[in-house]
Structure 1
Amino acid sequence: MKRKRTWLLASVALLLAVLGNWWLNQRGDRDADATDRPEATFDYALSDYRATLFDAEGRVSLRVAGPRLEHDPATREARLEQPRFELPTDDAAWTGRADRGVLYRDDETLALIGNVVAERPHPRGTVRIDAERLDHDRRAGELRSDRPVRVRQAGDELTGGTLVYFMNDDRVELENDVHAIYRDASDDESLGDRDPAPGAGTDDR
């Protein structure tokens, strides 16, 4: 009977030792996993924000403001609600607004989406671009769109299916179903010195 009891105690002790060793190994594996796991990337959201971005030379390349900004840590993209923007150039800056935007930090690109309006003062009259999407490439200094756009200045109007605007050269390229309307401002100024065009009405008052 004593030998049986000794055998039983030895068996229990061995079982406890095995279980204890298993528990320690499991805990060690969990601790190792916790140590190897990368630290979570900080994420943030801003309300009524104003942000200024600089280029490699320390010059302002973009100012943007709006009611809300949400940053996605996985893609390093910032989603913007109703952004108001300013895009500096060598001369006058472009300013405007859109329904929403996405700031791609790695590509240094700002995508403006929905009812986009961009304007820039010019000696011959303000240049205005209307588009459903307009991308600003800060590295290249370009405004681009692969959607139909309209460019207006001093009564002139250009429309096209795609656009590239070279901001520092003040030069625009339109492609795909391009239409142009040109109005000479001097025509309006000198109209009173000329006979009315055929079919034009007159005012006897």
Structure 2
Amino acid sequence: MARYLDSKCKLCRREGEKLFLKGEKCFTDKCAIERRSYPPGQHGQKKGRLSDYGVQLREKQKIRRIYGLFEKQFRIIYRHADRQRGVTGDNLLQMLESRLDNIVYLMGFGSSRAESRQIIRHNSILVNGKRVNIPSYIVTPGDTIEVDQKSREQLRIKSSLQSADNRGFPSWIEVDVKAMKGTYKNKPDRADLPATINESLVVELYSK
């Protein structure tokens, strides 16, 4: 599978907002958005007007980058969301939020979604007592996620969990910091998710 090897901070600058791709760095003054809030490249500071298609494309790219997905992966999730009952955009965000790598990140076991994927791949995460090493695994409400006993001494997990505890956890998950264990209580409502995401633009883009 292809990997993005360039600076992740460029992705935040390209979208014009923090995507929280670099863990703790994103919460400090060293964040690239704080220093240079314009897109990267020699023409980055030139402002141009985007077409309707351009606006839709940028929003899709932003959401893809937030959750660390490639185009093929994102399209598969969108098709599943489109086939479900209810509002397609809401279904899309709930499926993205229910991915195991995202839940591990929100629970503070990884400082970023990329690090959370690595932790999962290294067999450090248990779901309902069973080892799961698939980052795209869909967690269902009521599932319990915890760090494997052998991995609880890893400094990166301890540090990340402490930082997440200081910032606070979303209302739809419950975390026992000392036990390094959490519960996915329910799917998040749209009002609980960032207002900077406009999923309807993605639906318009893929509906053409």
**Structure-1-length-normalised TM-score:** 0.22
- Larger helix proportion of the pair: 2
Higher-Rg structure is 1
Which protein has greater RCO, CA pairs closer than 8 Å, 6+ apart?
Answer: 2
**Structure-2-length-normalised TM-score:** 0.22
- Larger strand proportion of the pair: 1
